[in-house]
Chains A and B, each alone.
Chain A
Amino acid sequence: MTNRNKRIAVADLRPRFRDGMTIMFGGFLGTGTPDSMVRELLDSGVKDLTIIGNDTALATTGIGVLVANRRVKKVIASHIGTNAETGKQMIAGELDVELVPQGTLAERIRAGGSGLGGVLTPTGVGTIIEKGKTKLTLDGVDYLVERPLRADLAILKAHLADESGNLVYRRAARNFNPLMALAADFVAVEVASIVPTGDIDPDHVMTPGTLVDALVLVEEK
């Protein structure tokens, strides 16, 4: 087991940014979103991004600022209603938005990180969500085949990490973060504290460090 210290500076992420890349971001209306990495993306000038996450927060919070600053080409999310910019750009035809039921989004990401070809869900049967999807009837129940999602980069937030990247989340900030840690080629996590490897009780680890590529320390004020 590697005990390499995974801590980097947020600016060290910048060489990984590419126009047109796909980024998963943790968070639910901004809670659990790594603001330091959103800021780095914004400052880097990277554009034409596809972003995958629960929602686009507000125009001034969380991932929402990337939308408001027109860095995003496509959004895959369950909810965009709290960010007026997302709706405005979508209606103007400037932003592609794929709306996915929240539970389906979670499972598509989980599938993408778990080696699964997709999941079968009853959610969306009999609604416009069916459009373009394979429908299966098994034991008399209708299911939609929902395909996996993956990303080039995941930007996540946890509360505590050890130097090997083992993670502990806090309260409602967990949400999509553990799922996305499985589903991206490079996984970067903003944390409020980093302790020496071995200092987190192994029974308390929520995401194993082997899934984490880099840690960015942003201490709480």
Chain B
Amino acid sequence: MDAKDLIACRVAQELKDGDVVNLGIGLPTLIPNYLSEGVHITLQSENGFLGLGPLVGDPLPDLVNAGGKPCGMLPGTAFFDSAMSFAIIRGGHVDVTVLGGLQVDQLGNLANWMVPGKMVPGMGGAMDLVTGARNVIVAMEHNTKEGDAKILKQCELPLTAAGKVTAIATELAYFRFIGGVLTLVETAPGVSLDEIRAKTEADYAVSPDCREMRLPAKAS
């Protein structure tokens, strides 16, 4: 199982039956593949609907996901305009948002929308999602391709939102903010505490209950 699938599989365990969830583009879209039996979630698509599903058969006109790609819709889907969509997001009606990160820090700050002078695509819906969702899970690889830390004492890149992250899932570890303190709660199979320490710049606590991730047989 590669890093992305492991992360998606671990985040899927956080989702409860009935949750309303917004998934960012890329890695987070793998998460529905790993939901436990009996866990049914409703996906919110910020371009204007609840009930996003996989594309089945030929694309329908005017049915695209937040990446502009053809998608499906499940029975019970509701469409709405962008003000309603973001009222749902900002107003705390989304239980969980899962999105990627360039940097996260020990204060719960997230930077994932621009690299000054290099990448300025715009924030899209990310700032509203991170501000308004009840739980913000950052799903990302633990380090950059160059091996630099991404979980920092303080983000260097422009923030998406300040102090809103509730958990971080990587291929090495699962962290939660517990009482405002970044806390290591799980390690990936075969990964030592020392390795995580060496690859993480942030200060963090290690939960007394810290354990190895329990991944289903098909996924590990």
A residues lining the B interface (CB < 8 Å): 28-32, 54-55, 77-82, 87, 90, 99, 101-107, 110, 121-129, 159, 169-179, 220
8 intermolecular pairs with C-beta atoms under 8 Å apart: A28-B47, A28-B66, A103-B132, A106-B83, A123-B127, A125-B161, A171-B60, A172-B48
B73 CB contacts on chain A under 8 angstroms: 171
Q: Are A87 and B120 in contact (CB under 8 A)?
A: yes
How distant is B60 from chain A, measured CB to nearest CB, in Å? 7
**B90 at interface by CB-CB < 8 Å:** yes
- Assuming the contacts A172-B47, A174-B80, asked whether A78 and B122 have C-beta atoms less than 8 A apart, the reply is yes
The secondary structure that dominates the A interface is: mixed
Q: Are B46 and A102 in contact (CB under 8 A)?
A: yes
**B125 at interface by CB-CB < 8 Å:** yes
Q: Are B127 and A177 in contact (CB under 8 A)?
A: no
A80 CB contacts on chain B under 8 angstroms: 120-122
Residues of chain B at interface, number, CB under 8 A: 42
A129 CB contacts on chain B under 8 angstroms: 123, 127
Q: Are B48 and A123 in contact (CB under 8 A)?
A: no
- Assuming the contacts A99-B122, A179-B82, asked whether A172 and B127 have C-beta atoms less than 8 A apart, the reply is no
Q: Are A107 and B158 in contact (CB under 8 A)?
A: no
Q: Are A79 and B48 in contact (CB under 8 A)?
A: no
Q: Are A125 and B86 in contact (CB under 8 A)?
A: no
- Assuming the contacts A28-B47, A123-B131, A172-B47, asked whether A107 and B163 have C-beta atoms less than 8 A apart, the reply is no
Q: Are B62 and A159 in contact (CB under 8 A)?
A: yes
Q: Are B83 and A171 in contact (CB under 8 A)?
A: no
B83 CB contacts on chain A under 8 angstroms: 106-107, 110, 179
Identify the 10 closest CB pairs spanning chains A and B, nearest first: A81-B121, A126-B162, A103-B86, A29-B68, A103-B128, A79-B122, A173-B62, A101-B127, A171-B62, A106-B82
